[in-house]
A and B are shown apart, each in its own frame.
Chain A
């Protein structure tokens, strides 16, 4: 039986290959994801390990609580006098203090901050007290280690920006721009590259001055004497530490350093795996459909087997073995295809400016190989189950009957009822996940995922009922454009509704998700634009070049002095600890009242100027959650460990698009008293005369010393805030395109099989005068009609899902994505045309005589 099954696969090479593609792409995505994320993770591990090379223990500033981001502006520094005390410890062989930052901006010849990609990668800056110390992970490529007022930069930045040793470069960290001499070019001794980040190294005093950390240190790296263990070293150091410092072994420090990136990589992995899962799910439809058609066409062969004494079990086994072989083959190919996809994904991320380090795209873990293979094989097997069971129902008598067809399934009549119930049940489960209060994230995801899956399967099964009416409508253009061929195409698409429906269903899934994304995105953009338009009463917004990094307070101060500027309102942000949890807090200055117009549930615009040293305002939901009203007191703990009481002076009602403010907002003055190096996230500017060329020029002139800051009108501010979001959206579309491609191959496969099945009929049509062109047209129109059926059901489902989500989520408004929906319909037509090319050519090539003689 095994031999029979395997030979069968081989004898149907084209069909097998076309079917396998459905799985290859999905498995490829899964293996590619692992390759990609393993490689990134490996690279980051090495970067963090390298950075602690030579250290046995690391002393760092101590936050009062664990901040979720490595926000350098928040982490407290400690006094540099600690260094000499550490050096006196008996176990210490060597110790070196350093300061560091994520925002050491190098400025290029055009006055622009050097940032690669979207600017998500840090602009690393740190002190190198002694180039030869074992703590220094860098080595010189050219020049010397930096002295006073000198800087070393990394090789990539130097070569991309044509910078050389001996040249001057402008650098800005905290405060004004400084001009420094490039004393050398460096790289990691291990040869690692660090993605889109830039590196600037200074001597310690220069770094302390640039970073506004005079007399302070961020870290001390300590090397132990040979006989002293890391644990012992830590034990010696701990008693001499001040309250604002802590010590960890190098291994602990590496783990801590890597925790942020690890959780990011974990997220990236799940995110990409989800798309692999979707592609596989679509692939399962394609496989189930291809196998069903193949089995229908092999009815006679299977019946003959039964006549020769094969039991049902043997028939079942032969189909399962076939599926298993197909699954193994496709999964192995997919595994290696993943290497290619990983490369593509890197390219994609690079393209949108999300530059990540990697250590070469190879399989780094067995998990990747095992998971990808197992999932691919299992999905193929599951998808083959239904066709395989149908195959066992082929009666032996079909071997002696001309044109034998499969008997109808036992519960054929109940099928559409069951399918409809399944679809409705799916939507219900989905709605439960979305609307039920008090579910955890995992439960919500489970109900939503399970509901969507059920809905897809239910709709796919039910949609054979929709094929006839839909094909009548969607096939109408074909009958007008395609003439007789178009008419035949429409009838052909309605001939076997179940087959047309399963083929279209694969495409439906992709289009549902694409429409969902488009509708949600449209909602996000609409509500954000609306919020900015409602709230923002100023004329300009000052942000970092990358639209989201903090900018020095000096920039806003300079802007305030520009001619024509009447008011500047600043927003600072950072993490605090309140009601036992970390939360993002914002801080504002009194000028805010004139640039942002809030809707107040309690209090008024005057709150901005009345906050003082102990006032705070909160948003409506936060107030409700913690039972806060005017006059309530809130204890806020800052990263430096001090806890202050704040009195609620206002409660605001945010629009659906959000506000620049976090749940808790205090005055800038109170904030600056607790945060070592405060920076602004946004500054909003009001001018006399509004947005004029003169005002724009005046602001630009004032901001000249702050190359990382830019002033934008409201309209530009909206579009640049949305920019990165749109990039992410494009990535989503590309990733979802994978599942659309899978369904495209599904259509190709169905058409090839259909043409094969209709060989005699096509020969007859040719014999009575149909031209090759007309044959091609007939196949093409059938393909387009199938695609359009999938697209229209998919788009409708996508809109339904999006509406459910939008009803639930406060910060979204429904905005119909008209352009996108039109684009999707056009795309569906293109998919139809593309899918038909090969099968249509095959059909047109049929020799009419041979086709009729075909038995």
Chain B
């Protein structure tokens, strides 16, 4: 599964992020450079406070770096205004949340097509059907989130993230709020979308098992990338984490 030849779709250079000012300031990122290659699943690992979430927020255009640059699909995003960022999100970014973040008043189907609705696109019915089929929700479309299990809710969330064919999909602890069986199913789904459609994906996780499904694993500690692995079993991931001293 060697896809090294592909061009990076997200490029971060010397990214630093400082919170607060003066004596109480905290450096969450202290100069991170990374390329996210197209069509691969990249996992970002690290303990709490390592800066992994901050990195993802900055890569996804949710937060601005104190210094450094970030390009998504060839576009420098750190100086975009709100309107352009909205456009960026519509066209290039998909997001899967730890707590699903479904809108409780909408049905599963309405949740899934919401990004299209917001962008004012009609949406391709066949494509929507395909995505829904892939996540295995064809018989749950009229249900409200409250009527769905955690796993089903996360499936809706994944379908929602995929429906707009994003350049890059960010998954923030996608299994963090699920039991291990259901978590496994979700990871498999993410893996399949990478394999079958070449969906570029960045996943932030604590879970060595989740990280082991990735093509590439970045280890962050104290605001820096300290190690990188290309394909690893969960055992290897655990060993690596212990080596780093986390």
Cβ-defined partner of A10 (8 Å) among B101, B103, B105, B172: B105
The answer on a CB contact under 8 Å between A4 and B62 is: no
Does A397 lie within 8 Å of B63, measured CB to CB? yes
B149 CB to closest chain A CB (Å) equals 14
Q: Closest A residue to B104 by CB, please name it.
A: A11
Is A314 an interface residue, CB under 8 A from the partner? yes
**A-facing residues in B109-149 (Cβ within 8 Å):** 110, 114-115, 117-119
A311 to B118, CA, bound (A): 8
Identify the closest chain A residue to B144 (Cβ).
A11
Chain B window 154-189, contacts with chain A (Cβ cutoff 8 Å), 1 for yes, 0 for no: 000000100010000000100000000000000000
The one of B83, B99, B105, B115 that contacts A311, using a Cβ cutoff of 8 Å: B83
Convert A320-350 into 0s and 1s, putting 1 for each residue whose CB lies closer than 8 angstroms to a CB of B.
0000000000000000000000000000000
Kindly state the separation between the CA atoms of A698 and B104 in the bound complex, as whole angstroms. 84
Q: How far is the CB of A398 from chain B (nearest CB, A)?
A: 9
Pick the residue among A301, A314, A397, A855 that contacts B118 (CB under 8 A): A314
Q: Evaluate contact between A308 and B160: CB separation under 8 angstroms.
A: yes
Q: How far is the CA of A353 from the CA of B86 in the complex (A)?
A: 65
Is A442 at the interface (CB under 8 A from chain B)?
no
Does A307 lie within 8 Å of B118, measured CB to CB? no
A309 with B89: in contact, given A400-B57, A400-B172 (CB under 8 Å)? Answer: yes
- Inter-chain contact A4/B103, CB cutoff 8 Å: yes
Residues of B within 8 A of A304 (CB): 97, 101, 103
- Nearest Cβ on chain A to B22's Cβ, whole angstroms: 19
Instruction: Please give, as numbers and ranges, the residues of chain A lying within 8 Å of B4 by CB-CB distance.
Output: none
Interface secondary structure of A, over-half rule: helix
Interface: B53 (CB within 8 A)? yes
Q: Which partner residue on chain B sits nearest A396 by CB separation?
A: B62
- Write out the residue numbers on chain B whose beta carbons fall within 8 Å of the beta carbon of A305: 103, 114, 118
A3 within 8 A of B: yes
* Chain A CB within 10 A, most for which of B62, B63, B110, B160: B62
CA gap between A4 and B63 in the complex, in Å = 27
CA distance A396 to B172 in the complex (A): 14
* A residues in contact with B85, CB < 8 Å: 396
Contact of A308 among B62, B98, B115 (CB under 8 A): B115
Report A-chain residues with C-beta under 8 Å of the C-beta of B82: 311-312
CB of A309 within 8 A of CB of B105, answer no
When chains A and B are docked, how far (Å) is the Cα of A760 from the Cα of B57?
A: 28
Q: Is A209 an interface residue (CB 8 A)?
A: no
Q: Is there contact, CB below 8 Å, between A309 and B97? A: no
Contact B110 A399 (CB under 8 A): no
- Contacts A309-B86, A309-B90, A312-B82 given; does A3 touch B110 at CB 8 Å: yes
CB of B63, distance to nearest CB on chain A (Å): 6
Q: Are A308 and B118 in contact (CB under 8 A)?
A: yes
Determine whether A310 belongs to the interface, using a CB cutoff of 8 Å to chain B: yes
Q: How many angstroms from the CA of A421 to the CA of B83 in the assembled complex?
A: 35
B168 to chain A, nearest CB (A): 14
In the complex, A473 Cα to B101 Cα: how many Å? Answer: 43
Best-buried of A7, A307, A312 by chain B (most CB within 10 Å)? A307
Whether B95 is near chain A, meaning CB under 8 Å from some CB there, is yes
Q: Which residues of B contact A148 (CB under 8 A)?
A: none
Q: Which residue of B lies closest to A12 (CB)?
A: B105
Q: Looking at the assembled complex, report how far the CB atom of A759 sits from the nearest CB atom of chain B, in whole angstroms.
A: 16
Separation of A400 and B62 alpha carbons in the complex (Å): 10
Given contacts A311-B83, A400-B57, contact A11 B105 (CB under 8 A): yes
What is the CB-to-nearest-CB distance from B89 to chain A, in angstroms, rounded to a whole number?
5
Contact call A309/B118, Cβ cutoff below 8 A: yes
CA distance A8 to B114 in the complex (A): 14
A300 proximal to B (CB < 8 A): yes
A-chain residues with CB within 8 Å of residue B99 when the two chains form the complex = 855
Considering the chains assembled together, what is the distance between the CA atoms of A307 and B90 in angstroms? 9
Q: Are B106 and A399 in contact (CB under 8 A)?
A: no
Shortest beta-carbon distance, B132 to chain A, in Å? 17
Chain A positions 236 through 267: 1 when the CB is less than 8 Å from some CB of chain B, otherwise 0 = 00000000000000000000000000000000
Once the chains bind, are A400 and B115 in contact (CB under 8 Å)?
Answer: no
- Contact status of A309 and B115, CB under 8 A, knowing A301-B103, A304-B103, A397-B57: yes
A306 neighbours in B (Cβ, 8 Å): 86, 89
Distance of A311 Cα from B106 Cα, bound (Å)? 19
Give per-residue flags for A373-404: 1 if the beta carbon is below 8 A from chain B beta carbons, else 0.
00000000000000000000001110110000
| B110–chain A nearest beta-carbon distance, Å | 7
* CB closest residue in chain B, given A10: B105
Give Cα A312 to B172, complex, Å.
24
Q: Please, which residues of chain B bring their CB within 8 A of the CB of A307?
A: 62, 89, 95, 101
Name A9's closest neighbour in chain B (CB-CB).
B105
Q: Does A308 lie within 8 Å of B105, measured CB to CB?
A: no
Mask of B48-66 contacts with A, CB within 8 angstroms, 1/0: 0000010001000011000
Query: Bound state CA distance, A307 and B101, in angstroms?
Result: 10
Nearest CB in chain A to that of B110: its residue: A3
Chain A proximity of B105: nearest CB distance (Å): 4
Chain B, Cβ-Cβ closest to A300: B101
Query: CB-CB < 8 A to B110: which residues of A?
Result: 3
Q: What A residues does B164 contact at CB under 8 A?
A: 309
CA distance A311 to B63 in the complex (A): 17
Nearest-Cβ distance from residue B95 to partner chain A, whole angstroms: 5
When chains A and B are docked, how far (Å) is the Cα of A411 from the Cα of B40?
45
Residues of A within 8 A of B106 (CB): 3-4, 7
A308 touches B114 (CB 8 A): yes
B53 cross-chain contacts in A, Cβ below 8 A: 400
- Across-interface contacts of B97 in A (CB, < 8 A): 304, 399-400
Closest to A308 in B: B115
Contact assessment for A397 and B86 in the assembled complex, using a CB-CB cutoff below 8 Å = no
A4 touches B105 (CB 8 A): yes
B89 proximity list for chain A (CB < 8 A) = 306-309, 396
Cα separation A760 to B95 with both chains bound (whole Å): 28
Chain A, Cβ-Cβ closest to B90: A309
Task: A395 to B60: give the CA distance in the assembly, Å.
Answer: 13
Q: How far is the CA of A3 from the CA of B164 in the complex (A)?
A: 20
A853 → chain B, closest Cβ, in Å?
13
- Considering the complex, which residues of chain B in the window 55-100 have a beta carbon less than 8 Å from any beta carbon of chain A? 57, 62-63, 82-83, 85-86, 89-90, 95, 97-99
How far apart are the CA atoms of A11 and B104 in the complex, in Å?
8
B95 contacts which chain A residues (CB < 8 A)?
Answer: 307-308, 399
- For residue A398, which residue of chain B has the nearest CB? B62
Residue in B62, B98, B104, B114 whose beta carbon sits within 8 Å of that of A397 in the complex: B62
Question: A301's closest neighbor in chain B, by CB?
Answer: B103
How close is A310's CB to chain B, nearest CB, in angstroms? 5
Residue with the greatest number of chain A CB neighbours at <10 A, chosen from B53, B103, B119: B103
Q: Which chain A residue shows the least CB distance to B111? A: A308
Q: How far is the CA of A855 from the CA of B153 in the complex (A)?
A: 15
B117 contacts which chain A residues (CB < 8 A)? Answer: 1
Contacts of A855 in B (CB 8 A): 99
Chain A residue at smallest Cβ distance from B102: A304
Q: How far is B118's CA from A301's CA once the two chains are assembled, in angstroms?
A: 14
- Cβ of B104 and Cβ of A311 under 8 Å apart? no
- A265 to chain B minimum Cβ distance, whole angstroms, is 47
Q: How far is the CB of B26 from chain A (nearest CB, A)?
A: 16
Report which residue of A3, A4, A308, A395 has the largest number of chain B beta carbons within 10 angstroms of its beta carbon.
A308
Contact status A309-B57, CB under 8 Å: no
Q: Looking at the assembled complex, report how far the CB atom of B178 sits from the nearest CB atom of chain A, in whole angstroms.
A: 13
Chain A's closest residue to B98 (CB) is A400
Chain B neighbourhood of A311, CB < 8 A:
82-83, 86, 118
Q: How far is the CB of B235 from the nearest CB of chain A, in Å?
A: 30
CB atoms of B115 and A399 under 8 A apart: no
Question: Which 9 pairs across A and B sit closest by C-beta, in order of nearness?
Answer: A309-B90, A7-B105, A11-B105, A397-B62, A304-B101, A311-B86, A309-B118, A309-B89, A308-B115
Given contacts A311-B83, A400-B97, A400-B98, 11 further A-B contacts (CB under 8 A): A1-B117, A3-B110, A10-B105, A301-B103, A309-B115, A309-B118, A309-B119, A314-B118, A397-B57, A399-B95, A399-B101
A–B pairs, 16, beta carbons within 8 Å:
A4-B105, A4-B114, A7-B105, A301-B103, A304-B97, A304-B101, A306-B89, A307-B62, A307-B95, A309-B119, A309-B164, A312-B82, A396-B62, A400-B53, A400-B62, A400-B172
